[in-house]
Structure 1
């Protein structure tokens, strides 16, 4: 089997999508501090971190309690709230 690795900067991921999948309760202070450094405070919280050596080191430390994906860009935040009140769509008169 032949694998081809791309060395192009455009093909490489620019961000890690890091999600906290297990709680930090019961872990030592350095593990909790590593999770907070990544911006992870709550269970199932997701943050986007740049791809660099320091971020990779923190992720490696927390590898049992986080899920990591490589992404090219940070998605825009979508307004998930519905509009308040109601609208009259049509009348039967």
Structure 2
């Protein structure tokens, strides 16, 4: 049996909300907007999520990603690609 995880992303800030909501977010490990954390699926974590369901986005995933993997997943495409490096181009010019 494989372990599944909740992928929890904080979408809205808890500013101005009751202390209880802020404390639940701290317990989940969410400090900043758009931060993502992974927790094993369990009734206690599900209860915490229900307390702040308006503030977070939740997905059930098969494996937890590292912080770096989450960052690379969110990183946009640069919008360009390199056909040839300058070294290759220089070599072609000298070869002619």
User: Taking structure 1 as the reference length, what is the TM-score of the superposition?
Assistant: 0.71
Deviation of 1:89 (Å): 3.0
Trace 1:62-81 onto structure 2 (pairs within 5 A): 62-76=52-66, 77-78=68-69
Q: Can you list the C-alpha shifts for 1:35-91, whole angstroms capped at 9, x where unaligned?
A: 0111111111110011112111110100111110000101243485xxxxxx86332
Trace 1:6-85 onto structure 2 (pairs within 5 A): 9-10=1-2, 14-76=4-66, 77-78=68-69
RMSD: 2.3
Larger Rg: 1 or 2?
2
Cα separation, 1, equivalents of 2:19 and 2:63: 31
Structure 2 stretches of 5 or more lacking a match?
A: 73-84
Structure 1 stretches of 5 or more lacking a match?
A: 1-8, 81-86
Cα separation, 1, equivalents of 2:9 and 2:51: 14
Q: Which has the higher helix share?
A: 2
| Segments ≥4 residues shifted beyond 2 Å | 75-80, 87-93
In structure 2, the partner of 1:89 is 87
User: Taking structure 2 as the reference length, what is the TM-score of the superposition?
Assistant: 0.69
Paired residues, number: 78
